[in-house]
Amino acid sequence: MFGILLLNIAAFLLLQLISTVLHEVGHAVAGRILGIRIFSIDIGSGQVVYEFLFVNIRWRFRVIAYGGLIRGTFTTARFFRTRDFFYKAGGPLANALILAGCIYLVPWDEQLNSTPLEGFVPFVSLALVNVLMMLLDLFPRMINSAAGKIPNDGLWLFWKIWRIKQDNIEANLAARYHYETDECYTRKDLVGAQKWIDRGAALFPKDIRLKIAAAHVFYMDKKYPEAMRAYARLVGRNKDNKNLDCLLLNNLAYNCALTGKPDLLPRADTASRLALKHDPSIISYKGTRGSVLVGMGRYDEALDLLHEAMRNSTGRSGRALNACDIGTAESRRGNIPEAKKYFSLARKLDPDCILLGREAGAST
């Protein structure tokens, strides 16, 4: 009986993962029918363990296989709220269809009676998984996701969609262009990224995230002084959005540090300190602060932050940057074997990491 119990628990967890994937596929199918551009589907939370591109959607499976997130944007504002309602309803509808199928499948569990698997009830587990998913998904609340705290489907369907403002609709339309830009970054296609930014800026000249994307192109192209100046022009223009302003401070600090110019370190110090003070929970802010402290020669403080950032960063590229900064700090402290270990780890995480060029300094 204990073995059957463990088997049922294992089946429940596996079926939860499968049902979560099908839930997100339900959103994606509804979105495609409604003319929504689907960019990515994240399954679970925490660090990405497997990522691939399928049917022009980027799939990411994360280490904690619970929950999911889909990213999609509208291409037109026509019937926005109605289309968004059916898009958000696509996930719960997928669970409802699975549950309806279980009405016919549950009796098959009885076929296992009088066999060594008597008591194993996979289709009952499937039904229970989808009942629980529907209840949790449709009860309006905020949930934790790979993108932070967001409204669940129930909160959108029963409250937020019908109260969405015109400014938010325009922001969703503009988001398509910086998501397309992000996809180009992933492919290292800076020319394509700039084209999407230019197209978006022509339609939404005031959208701040497109301006941030334009600054990020300089960073991706290793033009750090230009990136620094672009971010500096944006800082202070978003007083009604303190979180966004702190993101700009963080990016400004990081590009200041990357220039390698000692006279810019005080500016990087101030900007990174302000960003981290505003929200100490953001992992990238800790990584940036650690990188700045390495440049300032405050290695003990830097290593504490960088190790924490590396443990908690969800993306391989971010962890690779942290590993290179750790390697740089260890090298400057004279700990060459440890420095080489972290540069080697960074290369495994991201062979194209922009900081791998520092490895030469750790070889002596």
Q: What is the CATH number of the domain that holds 340?
A: 1.25.40.10
Please tell me the predicted confidence (pLDDT) of residue 86. Answer: 97
Last residue of a domain, one of 163, 184, 216: 163
- Residue type at 317? S
9 with 145, same domain: the answer is: yes
Taking only the tens place, the pLDDT of each residue in 132-188 is 999 999 999 998 876 678 999 999 999 999 999 998 999 999 999 999 999 998 888
pLDDT at 364 over 80: no
154 with 27, same domain: the answer is: yes
251 with 131, same domain: the answer is: no
Please tell me the predicted confidence (pLDDT) of residue 188. Answer: 84
119 with 9, same domain: the answer is: yes
Answer whether 156's CB lies under 8 Å from 88's CB.
Answer: yes
Please tell me the predicted confidence (pLDDT) of residue 84. Answer: 96
Please compute the mean of the pLDDT values over residues 189-211 and round it to a whole number.
93
Greatest mean pLDDT among 109-113, 301-305, 354-358 lies in: 301-305
Q: How far, in Å, CA of 355 to CA of 348, rounded?
A: 13
Asked whether residue 218 is domain-assigned, the answer is no
Asked whether residue 201 is domain-assigned, the answer is no
Taking only the tens place, the pLDDT of each residue in 333-349 is 999 999 999 999 999 99
- Residue type at 178? H
142 with 251, same domain: the answer is: no
Asked whether residue 193 is domain-assigned, the answer is no
Range of the domain at 315: 247-362
Asked whether residue 219 is domain-assigned, the answer is no
- Average pLDDT over all residues of the chain: 92
Global confidence as pTM? 0.85
Asked whether residue 91 is domain-assigned, the answer is yes
The model's confidence at residue 47, banded by pLDDT at 50, 70 and 90, is confident
The model's confidence at residue 28, banded by pLDDT at 50, 70 and 90, is very high
Last residue of a domain, one of 118, 137, 163: 163
Is the four-CA dihedral 264, 266, 267, 271 of positive or negative sign? positive
267 with 121, same domain: the answer is: no
Q: How far, in Å, CA of 274 to CA of 292, rounded?
A: 13
Report how many domains make up the chain. 2
Asked whether residue 253 is domain-assigned, the answer is yes
52 with 146, same domain: the answer is: yes
**1-33 residues labelled b (16+ CB within 10 A) or e (exposed):** eeeeeebbeebbeebbbebbbbbbbbbbbbbbe
10 with 152, same domain: the answer is: yes
142 with 268, same domain: the answer is: no
Last residue of a domain, one of 143, 163, 183: 163
Asked whether residue 77 is domain-assigned, the answer is yes
Residue from 156, 152, 107 nearest 134 by CA: 152
Angle, CA of 316, 320 and 322, to the nearest 5°: 120
Percentage of the residues of the chain whose pLDDT score is greater than 90: 76
Query: Residue 128, class by beta-carbon neighbours within 10 Å (0-12 exposed, 13-18 middle, 19+ buried)?
Result: middle
Please compute the mean of the pLDDT values over residues 25-31 and round it to a whole number.
97
137 with 19, same domain: the answer is: yes
pLDDT at 46 over 80: yes
Please tell me the predicted confidence (pLDDT) of residue 144. Answer: 81
Asked whether residue 236 is domain-assigned, the answer is no
158 with 252, same domain: the answer is: no
Q: Measured between alpha carbons, how far is residue 285 from residues 67, 222, 246, 326, 333 in Å?
A: 25, 20, 9, 15, 23
pLDDT at 356 over 60: yes
Greatest mean pLDDT among 182-186, 320-324, 359-363 lies in: 320-324
Q: How far, in Å, CA of 142 to CA of 154, rounded?
A: 10
